[in-house]
Amino acid sequence: MSRSTELAGLAGLLADRTRAEFCLALLDGRAWTAGELATHAGVAASTASEHLDRLIAGGLLVQRRQGRHRYVQLAGPETAQLLETLTAHLGPRPARPNSLRSATASAALARGRTCYDHLAGRLGVAITDAMAAGGLLDRQHGFALTASGVDWLTDALGVDPVVLRTSRRPVARECLDWTERRSHLAGTAGAQIRLRLSANDWTRRTGSGRAVRLTPAGATALHELLGLEADALELV
């Protein structure tokens, strides 16, 4: 099979509104049941099952069964990066949300959200910018943690240094943010930052989707740790 055929097959997996809706929902990093995805996309369970089979066969999703339920999630961070990058290429939406609910949801996603296992939106970009400004992240030669950045992660945030040394993923990786049109931090470092902020109750999910918000305690902590002015960025 030629590479062009393979690429066309990959593109075909996303060339359907329901399958695209499933993949975007799974960017929250969690495993969903087939029934939950069917309800989310507004399709019948049998239709959802057919689409999920195609996405799994194509390598974009993986599945596991627990009792009567089938759980699916993105195949890995590379799949999440692909989806986020493709979404960023769509450009800003020209139309306004058609309801207060959708407008509120869109604003929450833009303010802060998970991008698979790391933070995105204004929150993710603000943390990335603050790390670069503080000498913790080197952006001059790609995305790389400096020695000070490694110390900050392990000492200030309590990340186990073994995790950084033994991960098969890049420690720091650039991910294009589809709402901000700028880069945020992904990779092992980005994932660990999200985990630590959540564990410390510095961020919380809003509702059942991808949106997260910075708590007052988190705003204080990030101001002390990074000089981040959360109020000015409307992150709280």
pLDDT at residue 163 is higher than 70: yes
pLDDT at 68: 80
CATH architecture of the domain with range 3-75 = Orthogonal Bundle (1.10)
pLDDT at residue 131 is higher than 90: yes
| Contact between residue 136 and residue 165 where contact means Cβ atoms under 8 Å apart | no
Whole-number Å distance between alpha carbons of 53 and 67: 18
pLDDT at residue 130 is higher than 90: yes
- Residue bearing tokens 């239709």: 47
Whole-number Å distance between alpha carbons of 226 and 149: 11
Q: Does residue 118 come out as left (phi exceeding 0), alpha (psi in the -120 to 50 range) or beta?
A: beta
Whole-number Å distance between alpha carbons of 144 and 110: 25
pLDDT at 231: 72
Q: Mean per-residue pLDDT for 106-119?
A: 89
Tokens at residue 30, please?
A: 């969690």
pLDDT at residue 212 is higher than 70: yes
| Model confidence band, residue 142 (pLDDT cutoffs 50, 70, 90) | confident
| Model confidence band, residue 96 (pLDDT cutoffs 50, 70, 90) | low
Whole-number Å distance between alpha carbons of 31 and 62: 9
pLDDT at residue 213 is higher than 80: yes
- pTM to 2 decimals? 0.75
Instruction: Please choose, from the candidates 170, 172, 85, the residue with its C-alpha nearest in 3D space to the C-alpha of residue 131.
Output: 172
Instruction: Please choose, from the candidates 26, 201, 198, the residue with its C-alpha nearest in 3D space to the C-alpha of residue 119.
Output: 198
Domains of the chain, residue spans: 3-75, 85-226
**What percent of the chain has a predicted confidence (pLDDT) above 70?**
92
pLDDT at 148: 96
| Contact between residue 188 and residue 164 where contact means Cβ atoms under 8 Å apart | yes
Which residues 6+ apart lie within 8 Å of 199 measured at CB? none
Tokens at residue 139, please?
A: 């952006």
Q: Mean per-residue pLDDT for 26-41?
A: 90
- Residue bearing tokens 């890049």: 170
| Model confidence band, residue 12 (pLDDT cutoffs 50, 70, 90) | very high
